[in-house]
Amino acid sequence: MADVTIKIRESGPYLVKGPVTIADVDGHPYRIEGENVALCRCGQSKSKPFCDGSHRDGFVAIERAPEA
Ligand code: FES
């Protein structure tokens, strides 16, 4: 089984390094080119669930994982 990594970009999207399948609410898969995809985290994308760069219009999020 391949590893999947989700990296949170500072004030940006979730970067998913797959391979993964992203399915809509009916279970239909989106067509994804390649193995990497950026998912919107700010809620402003016009092409949800994917990031379209709209987060650059003022979205700020700088969460950090707690240190072990
Ligand atoms: S995170 Fe990029 S448009 Fe929402």
pLDDT tens digits, one per residue of 13-67: 999 998 999 999 999 999 999 989 999 999 999 999 999 999 999 999 998 999 9
d(CA 28, ligand 1 centre) in Å: 22
Supply the residue whose CA is at minimum distance from atom 2 of ligand 1.
51
For ligand 1, pick from 51, 57, 63 the residue to mutate: most ligand atoms within 8 Å of CB: 51
d(CA 17, ligand 1 centre) in Å: 17
Give the pTM.
0.90
- Going from the C-alpha of 32 to that of each of 1, 55, 56, 60, the distances in angstroms are 19, 21, 23, 27
Does the structural domain 1-68 have CATH classification 3.40.5.90? yes
pLDDT at res. 6: 96
Select the more confidently predicted residue: 8 or 1.
8
pLDDT at 1 over 80: no
pLDDT at res. 18: 86
Cα dihedral 39→42→24→65 (10° resolution): 60
